[in-house]
């Protein structure tokens, strides 16, 4: 049966899958960050998501939005560096967009992601093309919006296309100059390097599709 909406249980799967990817790739993401940054991205991100998993049962699961807002608080308070505010904003904005909801349409998801991207850009000053996770999130939102506009295929198929778009962004952005964070201080030396945030989003998107397909 086509997945026409994303249920609350499936949103839970999305968040917990993101947490698993962050935790399992702690060393890898830090290694990527160490090429041009301070090598703490993986450690910081894993720390925040470990708290999310540890406190998952105590979160407010009365709606999708309420749970995401609790995730936001945990991430913001326990993720070091700039990652805390950035990833916290991702969950805060989507939480606000999905407040009171127990299922989401593709249109809802696009709206929530667009709000999150706007919030992250305001919070951190990043713009599209600055070689940050904003570029990967925008690739997902744009792909999902295109699928929504076409009205063809299942929600899961739309997710798969969006995950491919996010994953491809790691190679697309590899040749760019980083313009945010410590990597920005390296100028043209950041060309031909991977942004760990973009890689993380792509890996999470792929893992989410796998988890929802199970």
Superfamily in which the 6-213 domain is placed by CATH:
DhaL domain (1.25.40.340)
61 pLDDT more than 80:
yes
Q: What pLDDT sits at residue 37?
A: 62
Confidence of residue 181 (pLDDT cuts 50, 70, 90): low
Is the per-residue pLDDT at 1 higher than 60?
no
What is the predicted pLDDT for the residue at 183? 60
Structure tokens at 46: 């894993």
Provide mean pLDDT across the span 199-203: 97
133-154 pLDDT per residue, tens: 999 999 999 999 999 999 888 9
- What is the residue extent of each domain of the chain? 6-213
pTM summary value: 0.93
Q: What percent of the chain has pLDDT over 70?
A: 92
The pair of structure tokens assigned to 7 is: 């249920």
Higher pLDDT, 126 or 49: 49
Taking only the tens place, the pLDDT of each residue in 67-90 is 999 999 999 999 988 899 999 999
DSSP per-residue letters across 19-88: HHHHHHTHHHHHHHHHHHS-S-HHHHHHHHHHHHHHTGGGS--SSHHHHHHHHHHHHHHH--TTHHHHHH
pLDDT digits (tens, 9 = 90+) for 183-195: 655 556 668 789 9
Determine what percent of the chain falls in helix, strand and coil, rounding each to the nearest 5: 75, 0, 25
How far apart CA 1 and CA 107 sit, in angstroms, is: 19
Q: What is the DSSP-derived secondary structure letter of residue 135?
A: H
């Amino acid at each position: 049966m086509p997945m026409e909406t994303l249920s609350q249980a499936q949103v839970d799967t999305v968040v917990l899958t993101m947490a698993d990817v962050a935790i399992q790739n702690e060393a890898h993401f830090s290694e990527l960050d160490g090429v041009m940054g301070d090598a703490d991205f993986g450690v910081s991100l894993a720390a925040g998501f470990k708290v999310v998993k540890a406190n998952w049962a105590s979160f407010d699961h009365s709606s999708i939005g309420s749970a995401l807002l609790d995730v936001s608080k945990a991430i913001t308070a326990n993720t070091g560096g700039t990652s805390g505010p950035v990833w916290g904003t991702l969950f805060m904005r989507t939480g606000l967009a999905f407040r009171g909801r127990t299922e989401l349409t593709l249109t809802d998801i696009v709206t929530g992601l667009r709000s999150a991207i706007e919030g992250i850009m305001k919070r951190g000053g990043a713009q599209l093309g600055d070689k940050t996770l904003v570029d990967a999130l925008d690739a997902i939102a744009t792909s999902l919006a295109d699928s929504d506009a076409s009205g063809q295929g299942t929600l899961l198929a739309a997710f798969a296309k969006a995950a491919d778009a996010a994953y491809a962004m790691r190679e697309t952005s590899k040749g760019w100059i980083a313009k945010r964070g410590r990597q920005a201080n390296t100028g043209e030396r950041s060309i031909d390097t991977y942004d760990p945030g973009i890689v993380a989003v792509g890996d999470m998107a792929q893992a989410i599709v796998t988890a929802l397909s199970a």
